[in-house]
Amino acid sequence: MEPMKLPGPKARALIKRDSSVISPSYPRDYGFVMDHGKGSEVWDVDGNRFLDFMAGIAVNATGHSHPEVVKAIQEQAEKFLHISSDFYHIKMIELGEKLDEIAPFEEAAVTFMTNSGTEAVETALKLARYHTGRTNFIGFTGAFHGRTMGAVTMTASKAVYHSGFYPLMNGVVHAPFPNPYRPILDRKRGEDYGETVVRYIDEQIFRQIVPADEVAAILLEPIQGEGGYIVPSEGFFPALRALCDKYGILLIADEVQSGMGRTGKWWAIENFGVEPDVITSAKGIASGLPLGACIARRSVMDWSRGAHGNTYGGNPLSCAAALKTIELLEREYLQNAGEVGQYTIDALQEIAARHPSIGEVRGIGLMIGVEFVKDKTTQEPDEGLRNSLVHNAFERGLLLLGCAKSVIRIAPALSINKSEIDEGLAIFEEALTLAEKGE
């Protein structure tokens, strides 16, 4: 396939204007300047078409501008745009009811609504301190939870997120995430690596760093996102839940990236057979409108009037989009994510058999990571190859997004179909073959 010359002239002119007025902190990877999108297809301002395998970082759950989502937003916009969370409106109540229905715990669920993922995490941290009367937290290396002060402290995926911002929030200790592909702790004979990590928290962290009875919560992504789309081994969550129960510690699942149907279930933690106490959501929840949620067991969300609040939480446009998103997921896309996800993983395994640079293909549903290595035995990450692949794919009409050091995350809309996957993976393999040749 002939590569496109990108960015095109209109895109280049806009990128130049952007660079003089927009914060230089945004981590832009390549010069895609969006004009419009439909489902899993997008067009740039020069009229070039692309397949979208990253959905605005796992956000456009129902695809770009799903007509039913657009209509729900339009209908709400004609009624009112904002009233503030100091007052009541039906869309916010209906969304709270729906989240109660799909929350991953038996107990009734109560929701605090936010505008972003980081704010949902911040809410969970404050709630954990308030509810337990304890101050400290356990997080995991490789984690990404956002960029406000509490969430960025819990984040441990790249030092650049912390550089220049110390002192961060007090009272956070990070344990190694149970990455089965790259274990770093010594496992006892017959022990699942996830159990090893939990034993490390109990025997090392609680004994040597922070007493368990002063820990408010353990916060983690059930499948790590930015850290490399890492699925923990089977024994991890049952052991972690037992640890939390032993010491009265809350278990908070950050489902901002992994939730809202991406794994074929409402929440990724449902794949591991345990119930958390609190979850955070954002990204896919409203198909692209800004909305986040901290959803807790009723007995945990026990703070008093005025303890926490915001201006825009439960914005009516975002709630209308979220209600329609959930309806569409229930109707077909939740199932589609499971089916097309497995189809994609199988196809990627076939590609991996032809390309020794692929160290591992992993994931559940449409949350799929492909890790690139210089050598399958040493597993040395191949960051350069991953970066070339992303750029080659872009020039051939496929939007990809990296994560961790040498991983590609495949996180398309949950509405994507098999022929779009086939088309995208053909470009993926061509781009990879070129990258392997050093192009």
Q: In the complex, which residues of this chain contact ligand PLP (CB under 6 A)?
A: 57, 116-118, 121, 144-146, 221, 225-226, 254, 256-257, 282
3-class SS string, the chain = CCCCCCCCHHHHHHHHHHHHHCCCCCCCCCCCCEEEEEECEEEECCCCEEEECCHHHHCCCCCECCHHHHHHHHHHHHHCCCCCCCCCCHHHHHHHHHHHHHCCCCCCEEEEEECCHHHHHHHHHHHHHHHHCCCEEEEECCCCCCCCHHHHHHCCCCHHHCCCCCCCCCCEEEECCCCCCCCCCCCCCCCCHHHHHHHHHHHHHHHHCCCHHHEEEEEECCCECCCCCECCCCCHHHHHHHHHHHHCCEEEEECCCCCCCCCCCCCHHHHHCCCCCEEEECHHHHECECCEEEEEECCCCCCCCCCCCCCCCCCHHHHHHHHHHHHHHHHHHHHHHHHHHHHHHHHHHHHHHHCCCEEEEEEECCEEEEEEECCCCCCCECHHHHHHHHHHHHHCCEECEEECCCEEEECCCCCCCHHHHHHHHHHHHHHHHHHHCCC
Q: Least distance in Å: CB of 56 to ligand PLP?
A: 11
Cis peptide before 3 (omega within 30 of 0): no
Give whichever of 72 and 401 is closer to ligand PLP, judged by the CB atom.
Answer: 401
Q: Least distance in Å: CB of 140 to ligand PLP?
A: 11
Residue closest to ligand PLP, measured at CB:
117
Q: Least distance in Å: CB of 179 to ligand PLP?
A: 16
Phi–psi pair at 188, nearest 5 degrees = -75, 155
Give whichever of 87 and 159 is closer to ligand PLP, judged by the CB atom.
Answer: 159
Give whichever of 280 and 357 is closer to ligand PLP, judged by the CB atom.
Answer: 280
Q: Least distance in Å: CB of 425 to ligand PLP?
A: 24
Give whichever of 44 and 226 is closer to ligand PLP, judged by the CB atom.
Answer: 226
Give whichever of 138 and 425 is closer to ligand PLP, judged by the CB atom.
Answer: 138
Q: Least distance in Å: CB of 222 to ligand PLP?
A: 9
Q: Least distance in Å: CB of 364 to ligand PLP?
A: 15
Q: Give which of 339, 337, 368, 326 is closest to 103, Cα–Cα.
A: 326
Instruction: Kindly report the number of other CB atoms within 10 A of residue 340's CB atom.
Output: 22
Give whichever of 72 and 124 is closer to ligand PLP, judged by the CB atom.
Answer: 124
Give whichever of 146 and 341 is closer to ligand PLP, judged by the CB atom.
Answer: 146
Q: Least distance in Å: CB of 227 to ligand PLP?
A: 9
Q: Least distance in Å: CB of 104 to ligand PLP?
A: 16
* Cα–Cα dist 83/314, whole Å: 10
Give whichever of 254 and 360 is closer to ligand PLP, judged by the CB atom.
Answer: 254
Give whichever of 198 and 256 is closer to ligand PLP, judged by the CB atom.
Answer: 256
Give whichever of 6 and 291 is closer to ligand PLP, judged by the CB atom.
Answer: 291
Q: Least distance in Å: CB of 156 to ligand PLP?
A: 12
Q: Least distance in Å: CB of 145 to ligand PLP?
A: 5
